[in-house]
Structure 1
Amino acid sequence: MKNLQFARLKVIPAITLLLLGGCFADDPDLQIDQSIQGLYDGALSANGQYSLIASIHHGASLWRIKDGERLYNWNHSSDGFTQISHVALSNNGRIALTAFQRELASWNQKNGKSIQFWQLPSQISCLSMNGNGTYALVGMDSGQTMIIDMANNGFAWSYKFPDEITACDITPTTNGIAIGTQQGGVYAYQVKRLKNKKDKTAPSQLKLGKILELEHPYAISQVSLLPKSKLLSSASRHNEFILTDLKTKEPVFEEELKNASISGVKEYNNYIVVAKTNRHIDFINQENWKTLKTVQVPKRNKWKPSGVYISDFTLVKDNLIVTGSDGVTQIFNALNLP
């Protein structure tokens, strides 16, 4: 295995924890400054306990949200900082993934050490991980796409799409994936596991069946499968956002995008929650498909030009946690959704 570097930080560094009051729509209740220079990517654990960032100048680092402590620095070389481009976290934050060019590494949150290292055929362009951290979906600029069985260290599925993969998503239970491409193609698949009765420790083999295929006019910026709602979310850059019913194959919601793209879509209770690159987070009621609430996430420096987008967000017990590309994670308490 390649000599991967991690550093355990025993002392809380000079970060800023701001306990803020005020209007929920504009002001967070807690703010954690993680990277002054900004991020290439960011990921939050679904339980809201951990934040993993890919800093522009200092590699990847894992943070505990409740007290703003940086736990580890992670790089793919002991020689210095790695320009990590993509990161992912399991639901509980115990397994982490970092990507650099064709390299993919998994990490253990308990001790900070690397678990596995993979060298892939071409440059990684998108990354997603299932809920318990056992499978990773990796898209590449060549169109090559792989599902990696991380628990047994093997490749469970591989397929080459016609052009670069620009967005990808694997469901928490590994029963579906969604793929988006540079030319606007969107593909959704059902995933079934083929058990190896002779060798239970062998890497899983997966069988995929196509559920749906869509075409957008421009490159895809976001795709996700929403299992509870049985919807496929897909968006092309600065063009359109569509929610498609997986059973009827018909759109149930469409929005024209002019000044923003979609950076993330999740389901929360009876709402579809949509994050946009203009830092708006919309709560869309599935009963009437109207936007009930919009949260405007502030950026670190209000006086500087725009360009700060939402890297990731999660919702836990009526609280919204957001990591922005400006290197700030913010918590908004008490959404008070009906």
Structure 2
Amino acid sequence: MTKGAIFLSVISAILLTACSGEQLSATKIEHAVEGAYAADISADGQYSVISSIHHGISLWDNKKNALKYQWSHQGSEQNQVFLTRFSDDASHVVTATSNEFAIWDVATGEAKGFYQIPESNIRDIAISAQARYVLYGLATGKVVHIDLNTGRRLEFLGHTEKINAVDMSANGHYALTGGNDYTAYFWDTRTAQVLHRFNHPSRVTMVKLEREGKYLFTADNQKQASIWDMRTGQAVSRLDYLARQEIFSSVRFVNQGDYLLTGSPSRVLALWDSKTGKQIQKWRVSPRKNSRPKSAVVYSATMVGEQILSESSAGLLETWNMNK
């Protein structure tokens, strides 16, 4: 190829990127060869846990860019883990199939227990710091909170339809749950007392607690995605987007709750101002190789300093730079 042709190719690539409005990721590391079923990044960005067809469950040390552990559920010939979650302190990981979950110690790599759930399909799961408590939501509408140290089991029966999303405070004392009954509840796991109820015009598909105890986030599958004051239950802001509907596949409060970081099934990764609901910046994660159409689900994202990290169904860990 001549120098002129190379120059024109470079200019064309720049123009295409500019026209699409997409910023390329600063780095890209493959964690799963043919894509992932599930993934999560620890809040500090040090670790990623990925569930995939060829590698089972993999724990990566992102700072060293090294595979740390590979895990699998007992008696499973084929990996069916579709949920992976870090505890808030990144000391443990919980992984779940539709009818069982396992707890893993990040320091040692050892399994701390396998638990069967025969009554209904697990829809979402969360784990507290130091893995003392587990919270999971079921297709029956029931939410279960378990103290793994004492065996105490509390069932929350406030929902009347299928659970879609659950989250739990780091100390395990508070839960936020949302379901197909158009409702999200913030409740005390020690008493099952409802502290705040949030009504939506459609199915609640995503919930999240801010780790410092300031905010709650709830979103439905249509147009309403709101940030609430955790103490009062009053609205703080509503995410401002032009699309007729916005579906979120991941969400996390970052920078002491100042920002909200969201991911979608349509490759979009976005940063929002928590107080105003305004979008600050957005990116599009890389699609899976040879996928038609070019697609990827954002499974998890976090902020470390002024850099964003994301994991997606493409099996890629990508990093993104903030606009100055």
Question: What range describes the TM-score normalised by the shorter chain of this pair?
Answer: 0.7 to 0.9
Contact kept? 2:87, 2:126, Cα under 8 Å: no
Match of 1:263 in 2: 249
Q: Which amino acid aligns with 2:315?
A: G
How big is each residue's C-alpha offset from its partner over 1:138-173, in whole Å with a ceiling of 9 and x where there is no partner? 1111122112223x1523422233221111111223
Match of 1:305 in 2: 293
TM-score, structure 1 as length reference:
0.79
Per-residue deviation, 1:216: 2.2
Number of aligned residues: 300
Match of 1:65 in 2: 62
Q: CA separation of 1:155/1:100 partners in 2, compared to 1, >3 Å: closer, same or farther?
A: farther
Instruction: For 1:43-82, list aligned pairs within 5 A.
Output: 43-56=40-53, 58-78=55-75, 80-82=77-79
How big is each residue's C-alpha offset from its partner over 1:277-328, in whole Å with a ceiling of 9 and x where there is no partner? 3232332224544222223323244873144111011112222110001211
Q: Give the strand-richer structure, 1 or 2.
A: 1
Q: CA separation of 1:27/1:103 partners in 2, compared to 1, >3 Å: closer, same or farther?
A: same
TM-score, structure 2 as length reference:
0.82
Q: CA RMSD in A?
A: 2.7
Per-residue deviation, 1:84: 0.7
Q: CA separation of 1:173/1:92 partners in 2, compared to 1, >3 Å: closer, same or farther?
A: closer
Match of 1:172 in 2: 170
Q: Unmatched 5+ residue regions in structure 1?
A: 1-21, 192-205
Match for residue 253 of structure 1 among 235, 238, 246: 238
How big is each residue's C-alpha offset from its partner over 1:59-94, in whole Å with a ceiling of 9 and x where there is no partner? 322111123322222222356333112111124433
Match of 1:225 in 2: 209
Match of 1:147 in 2: 145
Q: Does 1:293 align with 2:281?
A: yes
Q: Does 1:133 align with 2:118?
A: no
Q: CA separation of 1:285/1:79 partners in 2, compared to 1, >3 Å: closer, same or farther?
A: closer
Q: Secondary structure of 2:38's match?
A: strand
Structure 2 distance, partners of 1:153, 1:291, is 44
Q: Does 1:123 align with 2:107?
A: no
Contact kept? 1:275, 1:281, Cα under 8 Å: yes
Q: Give the helix-richer structure, 1 or 2.
A: 2
Structure 2 distance, partners of 1:155, 1:322, is 35
Q: CA separation of 1:166/1:288 partners in 2, compared to 1, >3 Å: closer, same or farther?
A: closer
Contact kept? 1:58, 1:83, Cα under 8 Å: no
How big is each residue's C-alpha offset from its partner over 1:215-241, in whole Å with a ceiling of 9 and x where there is no partner? 323322211122547332111124331
